[in-house]
Amino acid sequence: MTKPKQTPETPQAPNYQYDAIIIGTGPGGEGAAMNLSKSQKRVAVIERQRAVGGGCVHWGTIPSKALRHSVSRLIEYKANPLYRFTGKPQRHTFQDILNHASAVISKQSNLRSSFYDRNRIHLYQGDASFVDAHTIKVQHEDGSQELLTAHTIVIATGSRPYRPPEVDFSHPRVYDSDTILSLKHNPQRVIIYGAGVIGCEYASIFKGLGAKVDLINTRDRLLAFMDAEISDALSYHFWNSGIVIRHNEEFSKVEGSEEGVILHLQSGKRVKADCILFANGRTGNTNGLNLAAVGLKADGRGQLKVNENYQTELDNVYAVGDVIGYPSLASAAFDQGRIAADAIVQGDSADKLIIDIPAGIYTIPEMSSVGKTEQELTAAKIPYEVGRAQFKHLARAQITGTEVGSLKLLFHAVTKELLGVHCFGERASEIVHIGQAIMEQKGPGNNVEYFVNTTFNYPTMAEAYRVAALNGLNRLCD
């Protein structure tokens, strides 16, 4: 049987190499690539680094949390009276704990690389940039180039630390949250400029290693997006541990020398330290994509605008993860990639990103929250009650020596619907998920009385939910 001749009335569809090209292998790119592959799409992924995982695995989430874990265990060891007289004091350097982080990074990257192999996704190493709406140029390390074509492009290039042009980041004592992992010396005093999530986490790490820490906050309180009591608890804990917090400060210049740095603040203060970690904001990685070739434009922070399906202003180009801004969480980025893949395959995605995304902040101790804060509920004039459980009253916390912290439940004073969960203390990022599961239930399934009427393992940290629920229910007016 012969094929019919092509005529102008029956044009042949473009013959693309792939159905989709994903730029970036962080959580967002991985989520999109895996879901598209499982939908029988031909998928290619481009990664500029030599190993997959993106900033999440190599510079951000995984390294900082691995560092934090090592320091936290060291603090517990020092505080345990069983080991108080076992010899010389244990002291570790930043390089010592980096060894653990490096091992975790390698394991995570190798694991994720196997996902691409298993799902028959083609992986290209190099810098990606647009040629047109369906063509991507890959610039390899050896100088060679190749062109890849696809019907759909997904931008998942992540973000990088913001670098003010007036700060010399080539100076060996000036770091950002990426380059701090290359720290070679053992600083006795550290300046951290920026008291957001990254700044607070590294303040905990360096203080745990015995360094003096000056935490410069450009705002009037730490982590203002958190419930006020929880952020105040962190502020007090920092203050009590010796971290110096300087609120409402802006830098004017950073003066570097062979011995260290001097930070000049606009208020006239000068702060001296062995090194400075600049952790004040991030920028989307869009500057090298040649967006102009397809008529797209990033905002001042390098971020792209998308709709609820993560589609940009160009119908066949999607964007997920840090490159689109809020919530800038690895957990959310993976879901964004998955949802975008569904929209690519189906034309729309029935799934949407959940509204109440949990926040986990890996300070020492941890902070985590999901749902509304007291401030938000008060402003919305929603009648609510508060239930609290102090960790120092829990048998499990007493056993493990992690008595600092508390769990706070916010629930509707009439319907008893759980509205917010806020936790400060060791394992807070794990504990919060129990409350999240109840909050996600529909109708009468979301009720704070669940925690009273169920039976928890004993002793556990989860028991805090029963204690907090009883505490709050006892406050209700009949």
Which residue numbers belong to the known binding site for NAD(+)?
Answer: 194-201, 281
438: tokens are: 């109840």
β-pairing, 145-155 vs 261-265, is: unpaired
Smallest CA-to-CA distance from 166 within 65, 250, 45 is with: 250
**Residue 71 and residue 23: Cα distance in Å, rounded?**
34
Alpha carbons 286 and 301: distance in angstroms, whole number: 9
User: At residue 243, what is the residue type?
Assistant: I
Task: Tell me the three state secondary structure of residue 315.
Answer: coil
Distance of alpha carbon 62 from alpha carbon 112, whole angstroms: 13
In angstroms, the CA 100 to CA 89 distance is: 20
Angle at 53 between CA 175 and CA 133, to 5 degrees: 100
Among residues 152, 175, 134, which one has the least CA distance to residue 261?
175
Dist CA 469 CA 339 (whole Å): 35
Say how far apart CA 310 and CA 338 lie, in whole Å. 10
SS3 381: coil
- Annotated binding residues, as ranges? 47-56, 65, 157-159, 194-201, 281, 322
User: Residues 453, 459, 461, CA angle at the centre, nearest 5°?
Assistant: 80
Q: What is the DSSP string of 445-477?
A: GS-TTHHHHS---SS-STTHHHHHHHHHHTTS-
158 closest CA partner among 32, 65, 286, 61:
286
Pairing of strands 174-176, 275-278: parallel
CA dist 396 and 427 (Å) reads 12
d(CA 406, CA 425): 6
Identity of the amino acid at 368: S
> Helix, strand, or coil here: 22?
strand
> What is the distance between the alpha carbons of residues 429 and 440, in angstroms, rounded to a whole number?
17
Three-class HEC string of 53-104: CHHHHHCCHHHHHHHHHHHHHHHHHHHCHHHCCCCCCCCCCHHHHHHHHHHH
Known binding residues for FAD: 47-56, 65, 157-159, 322
